[in-house]
Structure formats: C-alpha cells, structure tokens
Structure 1
C-alpha cells in the first residue's frame, strides 16, 4: 500500500438531494463540459487518488430537481485529457449493458487518460433499467451473475491483444501481428462473444474494477466499496474494521469505505447547512456520514486509515464541500499520515498500489484455456 487511498464522487451537484439549490451554477449547466471539467480538475489539485462518476439508466427520483444527466463514460472521457494524475472511474451497468461495448468503451477511456481509467460496475436489476436498454428484465437473484459475466468478458477482451501485437510495420503495410491477437470464446446466458477486442490492449492491461461489497462474493474486485450506517466515530471505525477484514479474506484488493461529508464553510456550521437543504428534501441516511469542522474530519480519516485501505468521500454540495476538502482536509491529513498521492504519468493501478496486470485474476490464464 502507498497510503490511505482517497476518492471522491463527482456526480450531480452533491450527495444531498437538494444540493443543486446551493450550487454556484444553474441546473442547466450540469450538462455542460465546463462544470464537469472544473470539478475534476479541482479534485485533482486537491490530491484525490480517483474520482467516480455515478450513473443510472432511469431518471432521478426527485422530480423537483434536475432530471438531465450526461452518461458517466462520456463525462469521464471528457475530463480524461483535461487531467493528468486523477484516476477516472465511471459507473457502467453490467446487467443490461452490451459486454463487448462496455469492454471497448473502457479500453478507449484508458487510452484517453493514459492509463488512469477504471470501472465501477453496477448490478441493478430494475425492470425500468432493462427497458432503457431494450433488454428483458432479469430477477435480482441473477443480476450479480450477469454483472460478473460482463466483467469477465471485458477482462478477456482487454487481454486479447498481447502487449506487442501492434507492430506498425510500414515496409510490409502490417499494423498488427495477427498471431498475437486472440479470440476469447465466451458464452453467456443469452449471448456469445468471440472477440478479439477492436481496441488494442489498454495501457494498464486490466483496468481496476470497483464495485459494491455485495458483489465481492461473485466478482474478483480490485476495489470493494462498502457502507456502514453509523453516526458515532468510534462505532464507525470498529464496524469498518470488521467489514474491511471480511472483504480482504475474500480476496478483494482494497476495501474502501463510503463516507458522506458536510463541512463547516464560510462561517456557516455544517449542521445549519444540512438543515437548510433538508427543508427542501430530507437527506436519508444510507451510509456513514460526517457533519462538522475540517479538523474533526481529519481526525476521523486518520483513525479510519488504521483499519481500511481507503475512503471515498461524497460531498454534500460539491461547489462548497469539495473546495473545503481540498483546502482544509486533504493537506492536513497528508501531514498526519501517508496518503496515496497520484502523480502525472502514473497509472491508476500504480496510484492504488495494485500489481501490474498481465493475467486475469483468479486463474493462471483463463484466456489461454478458452483459445
């Protein structure tokens, strides 16, 4: 490990359902590249190891708030050349999405970011999501299996080109050596992928795959994101320790806690800020949450660093809390404990402290066996 891994969620206007009411731009500007790029660049300057971009195939539940959103891969691809160190991890749904398209899209993202791409795999079996993709709905009991298959297909596709497959031999007019490009021969429940990929092997070989802790039993995750519903710091650290240990015992690479954050800002206590937003739309508690001053958050993160591999922060209002995190939290935390710091030119795997990926996880070489 290279230190505590800090991530940040950059979807929408923030974790609070009424965050758009406290933002510095109009709701219409959410679907502009400027807002997406500004936030990603701020997260990079703050020193976050990675940023995630949430996504959903159905409209947000709050009909009073902004309804339009840009596709997560589109947002990630847009900010890729506008950043140089930040890991870029879009949410892509693995139940109803076309696995071949998922794999090639993400490989292209890895090229656009020079090896900083990742994938946060989602496994939502919602029938409305199926309709959005034009696919028949599947029961929730098989959703994780479908997502696991999509991950398997993508990983096989990423490795279907050997590292030296591209030869670009001008005298003979050959771009690639066909002997170094392999078929993957994958049979799913209702599809078959022969391969190989139409995109050469990504810079990282295998992009880091993130996912919820619930998927860790079915998918070899590089990063498992887990929740703890607790408001007491001591209880939070204790519960996080137990869950992180369980995830590591299953072979997960990194155990990363999700933590919602609302900070004191511009002389206004965080509790007052949250109360004002709650008057418009209550902020349901579904994961751990910190509300208070920056120094107290630094103390909590330092304590969590002793039991988890990383923390993904969900700022209540991005236009307020993200700036406070970069100004008053991350620098102070780095002065206290080792924190994974991305550097220009490093891959996301390097930043996360993951080993180089030359083979599929969980097998000596399943790709060779399928050839």
Structure 2
C-alpha cells in the first residue's frame, strides 16, 4: 500500500535499567518496527550508558529490528566513530545504523577537551564522508583465511583511504573487515544541511509534506517524520516514508499501531534491505575494475 509507513522508536535511555532496555527493544521488534534509535548526550544530569553501548547490548537479543545509536560528530574521533558503527553492524548481523549527532555545545566540548565551532556543517560532512570511505576500505572478499599459506587476508584488497580535510586527516584502513551491510544506514536531521549524504532524513513540524518534499529534493532516499503521538501517523501517511515515535514513558506494548499503516520488516534481511536499499559495492573495488 502506498500509505504504509516504516515505524521507528526513539529511546532516550534516561533512568533505564538494562532489563527495561531489553524489554523496550523487544516490544518494538514484536510490534513490527523497522528500527530503534538511541539518544545520547555527553553531558547530562541523569545517568545513562552511551548510545553505542546500549545498541550493542541489545544486538544479541534481537534479530530483525535495526539499531541506530546517536554518535556525535564534532566531539568523537572519526576513525573511532566509523569503527564503532561497523562493529555494531557485525554484532547485529547487518542491522546497524547511525543517527548523526551534532552536539556543539560548550559543555559537550569541555567534556572532551575540544572547542566550539562557529559552523559545524562542513565538519559533519567530512565525518560522514570519511566514515563511508572507511566502511569501504576492506573489499568484501579481502578476508581469505588461506591456511596453506598462513594468510588471513589479501592485502591488495584492503585500502588506505588517505583522507585529508580541513578538520582532520585519516589514513585508514578500518581495523575491522567490511561489515554485513557494507555501509550502515545513515540517519540525520534534515535541518543539519547534510541531507544529500543521508539514507534517512528526519523532519518535524506542521508542514511535514513540504519538509519531506524539500528533503527529497536535497537528495534524501527516505524521509521519516518525527512525531510525539501515534495518532499523528495517519496524518503524515503518504507524505513521508516512515515515522519515528518519541513516546517518553509510554510503552510500545500499550500502543494500538494501525495494521493498515504498518510496514513490517522481513526477518532474515538486513536493515538496508528492509528499507529498500541495495548493498553497495566498495568504491575501491569498483575503482579497480
């Protein structure tokens, strides 16, 4: 149906025990949600584990739902960021994603010893660019495990990315083999000025249809509306591809998600496949052909 939607759920993680986290994600998976996102902040008055740790924690207890931690770009070393997300994709067998974080507050920078930037858009774009290059740095068949010669990998199929930018340089390659999806799904706010680099753009506001059209014009493959109430899903159906619910303390199991709206993921497929994306070929492999 044209008006069917992918459903996603934001988990902010505040005051959440490990058992409660497992319960929430399991409920979302049973409900047929496409993915869950994990909010994060370097500085908070309330205790919580970082988003990447929470996503990795539930990877082994789920099988279909996508896992998308928020990882902030201007306060996280890009090589570590790319490695963490590739590792999540391995741990979840192809269900990893990334919500692009852009915390540029003085408190966040003070926590890591960096400085506030006047304009972070250019740096965020560079972080996404180098992350995608690093995820491509191992070709799919780089690992050969040739016992007869004692070789684990073919070095000709592991590539230095040699990224040189205004904000950082990264030589590469990544320290993990290419992950199951090749590229994790990249999700971000359409207002960040990076929509052309995203797989899923998030929009919010009263003029959702116009915002969705603008995001698509800027290059977003899929557009999700951020909504606070399940009742808002019907009103945006047909204008967006999916919705991300911010439920607060409301439990997913207490929701009556309209069956006619819900686009249910197929078990056994990667998150990319369930969202209708193909698995990309490594740019370095393609360049040699």
TM bucket (normalised to shorter chain) is over 0.9
Partner residue of 1:309? Answer: 241
Partner residue of 1:33? Answer: 18
2:217 aligned to which of 249, 266, 281: 249
SS in 1 for 2:182: coil
Counterpart mapping for 1:330-349 below 5 A: 333-334=258-259, 336-337=260-261, 339-349=262-272
Q: Does residue 186 of structure 1 match 2:171?
A: no
Q: Superposition RMSD on alpha carbons, in Å? A: 2.1
2:208 aligned to which of 240, 243, 250: 240
Structure 1 Cα separation of the partners of residues 279 and 73 of structure 2: 24
User: Could you tell me whether the CA contact under 8 Å between 2:78 and 2:127 is conserved in 1?
Assistant: yes
Task: Tell me how far 1:303 sits from its aligned partner.
Answer: 3.7
User: Could you tell me whether the CA contact under 8 Å between 2:146 and 2:152 is conserved in 1?
Assistant: yes
Partner residue of 1:71? Answer: 50
Structure 1 Cα separation of the partners of residues 134 and 210 of structure 2: 35
Q: Does residue 167 of structure 1 match 2:144?
A: yes
1:324 aligned to which of 204, 229, 254: 254
Q: Does residue 8 of structure 1 match 2:9?
A: yes
Partner residue of 2:132? Answer: 155
Partner residue of 1:114? Answer: 93
Q: Which of 50-59 and 186-195 deviates more?
A: 186-195
Unaligned runs of 5+ in 1: 14-26, 61-66, 229-235, 262-289, 291-296
C-alpha distance 185-95 of structure 1, shift in aligned 2 (>3 A): same
For 1:33-52, what per-residue CA distance to the aligned partner results, in whole angstroms no more than 9, with x for missing partners? 21211111111111110000
Counterpart mapping for 1:51-130 below 5 A: 51-60=36-45, 67-130=46-109
For 1:92-111, what per-residue CA distance to the aligned partner results, in whole angstroms no more than 9, with x for missing partners? 00112100000000000000
Partner residue of 1:272? Answer: none
For 1:259-305, what per-residue CA distance to the aligned partner results, in whole angstroms no more than 9, with x for missing partners? 012xxxxxxxxxxxxxxxxxxxxxxxxxxxx6xxxxxx2xx423422
2:30 aligned to which of 45, 53, 57: 45
Task: Tell me how far 1:144 sits from its aligned partner.
Answer: 1.7
Task: Tell me how far 1:147 sits from its aligned partner.
Answer: 1.4
User: Could you tell me whether the CA contact under 8 Å between 1:93 and 1:147 is conserved in 2?
Assistant: no
User: Could you tell me whether the CA contact under 8 Å between 1:216 and 1:250 is conserved in 2?
Assistant: no
When the two structures are superposed, what TM-score results if normalisation uses the length of structure 1? Answer: 0.73
User: Could you tell me whether the CA contact under 8 Å between 2:225 and 2:240 is conserved in 1?
Assistant: yes
Structure 2 Cα separation of the partners of residues 130 and 156 of structure 1: 26
Task: Tell me how far 1:366 sits from its aligned partner.
Answer: 11
1:223 aligned to which of 200, 206, 212: 200
For 1:145-164, what per-residue CA distance to the aligned partner results, in whole angstroms no more than 9, with x for missing partners? 11111111111010000010
SS in 1 for 2:246: strand
Structure 1 Cα separation of the partners of residues 153 and 269 of structure 2: 27
Partner residue of 1:260? Answer: 228
Structure 1 Cα separation of the partners of residues 108 and 246 of structure 2: 24
Looking at secondary structure, tell me which structure has more helix per residue. 1
Task: Tell me how far 1:367 sits from its aligned partner.
Answer: 9.0
SS in 1 for 2:86: helix
